[in-house]
Amino acid sequence: MTTKVLVLNGPNLGRLGSREPDVYGATSYTGLVDRCTALGAELGLDVEVRETNSELQMVEWLHQAADAKTPVVINPGAFTHYSYAMRDAAAQRTAPLIEVHISNPYARETFRHNSVIASIASGTIAGFGLGSYELALRALAEELTTR
């Protein structure tokens, strides 16, 4: 039996490959989805990758994950820095939740140094490009097997 995992992405992440490739790389969003689902299958995880520019949608997905006890890997995008609604939804988690970022927020503009979700996440992985997602999925798989 495989464990369902949601990989949730916030604003502008659907533009991977064309959005600031010097910061976010040249791989498209479809490439990210393919990498996450392939690694998930190797790890025995049924990974579903989603992306939204809507704070409401992100909150609803986090509520669904909490209700279903579904583990989450989340890249909140810009919501990271100010969305208390998203933070409060994520705080209701009933399974591990790992925050990821493609770039290292602390090496960028000052406003990116604050994460409202970090304090309620199981952990945060940042600065390894799309590898941040792979590291998060591996950490999640390890967490689930040691519970």
Region for residue 145 given its phi and psi (left: phi exceeds 0; alpha: psi -120 to 50; beta: otherwise): alpha
The confidence score (pLDDT) of residue 8 equals: 98
75 assigned ligand-binding residue? yes
The confidence score (pLDDT) of residue 126 equals: 95
The domains of the chain, with CATH numbers, are: 3-146 (3.40.50.9100)
Catalytic, 106? Answer no
Q: Single out the catalytic residue among 101, 106, 113, 133.
A: 101
112 assigned ligand-binding residue? yes
* 97-101 and 123-126 strand pairing: parallel
CB 82 within 8 A of CB 109: no
Tokens of 5: 């995992």
The confidence score (pLDDT) of residue 103 equals: 81
67 assigned ligand-binding residue? no
Q: Which mean pLDDT values do the consecutive 10-residue runs of the chain (147 residues) have?
A: 91 71 69 95 97 96 98 94 93 97 78 84 94 97 89
* CB-based burial, 68-92: b 16+ in 10 Å, e otherwise: eebbbbbbbbebbbebeebbebbee
CB 93 within 8 A of CB 72: yes
Q: Which of 67, 147, 75 is nearest to 117 (CA)?
A: 75
Phi, psi dihedrals of residue 97, rounded to the nearest 5°: -135, 120
The confidence score (pLDDT) of residue 12 equals: 77
